[in-house]
Amino acid sequence: MFITVEGVDGAGKSTLVRGLGERLAAEGIDVVLSREPGGTPLGQQVRQILLDGEDMDAWTEVFLFCADRHHHVETLIRPALNAGKWFISDRYVDSTLVYQGYGQRLSLSRLRAVCELAIDGLWPDLTLCIDLPAEQAISRQLERNRLGQLDLSFYERVREGFHREAELTPQRFEMLKGDAPADEVLESAWQAVQDRRARLSALEHP
Ligand code: TMP
């Protein structure tokens, strides 16, 4: 099963990814935890360029995010899934659609086309999106980098973007309340994973 975790910066994605990883491992499930950008050695270099490199325009950022993603898909995600493992990625394709599409206002149809090329059909089975009001997202940000934004309206557009994308693909999206305590967020996420797992297994063994 391929799970992605999405949300605005500061929403608590990495805590949730770790928590889910621990629960799955405790059930004896072989799970790989990763992130974008930066899930592979090449991706780490791309992440450094994106976060700390020179200024670049928004489409150059898109191609870098997508180069990282394509390499991640082909060298790590797809091989792990083919080997029967579970895979959890902290951010994936929805981050590009939402940050670059809704946040930076690039054309969504062009972004979808570029993202499709990058993932080559590998859509997640489940996307857990941690929802957090823009003010809280900004106040929770500990790390500042080139992509970090202090602009409230940017995060409002990003939050709205996640909601719109969730409405477009309700079969894989699950919205989680990010202003709840971390153990409650994990509990709701765990429930969503169990539900999805049951639905996938019903499809495989009707
Ligand atoms: P992170 O802090 O969650 O690792 O993400 C790094 C930053 O990159 C964060 O501000 C979100 C941004 N980002 C995009 O703008 N587009 C993307 O496609 C991805 C994966 C991340």
Quick one: what percent of the chain has pLDDT higher than 70? Answer: 98
Task: Let me know: does 8 contact 203? Beta carbons within 8 Å.
Answer: no
Say if CB 155 and CB 102 are below 8 A apart.
no
| Lowest mean pLDDT across 15-29, 43-57, 66-80, 146-160 | 146-160
Distance 14 CA to ligand 1 centre (A): 12
What Å distances lie between residue 63 and 60, 68, 108, 117, 193, CA to CA?
5, 9, 14, 11, 31
Whether residue 36 has its Cβ less than 6 Å from ligand 1 = yes
Cβ of 104 closer than 6 Å to ligand 1, yes or no, is no
Residue 11 · residue 158 · CB < 8 Å: no
On average, the pLDDT of the chain sits at 95
Query: What confidence tens digit (pLDDT) does each residue in 129-162 have?
Result: 999 998 888 888 766 677 776 688 999 999 999 9
Task: Decide if pLDDT at 79 tops 90.
Answer: yes
What pLDDT is stored for residue 44 in this prediction?
98
pTM of the model: 0.96
Counting residues of the chain whose pLDDT is more than 90, the rounded percentage is: 86
> Where is 87: in which H helix or E strand?
strand 86-90
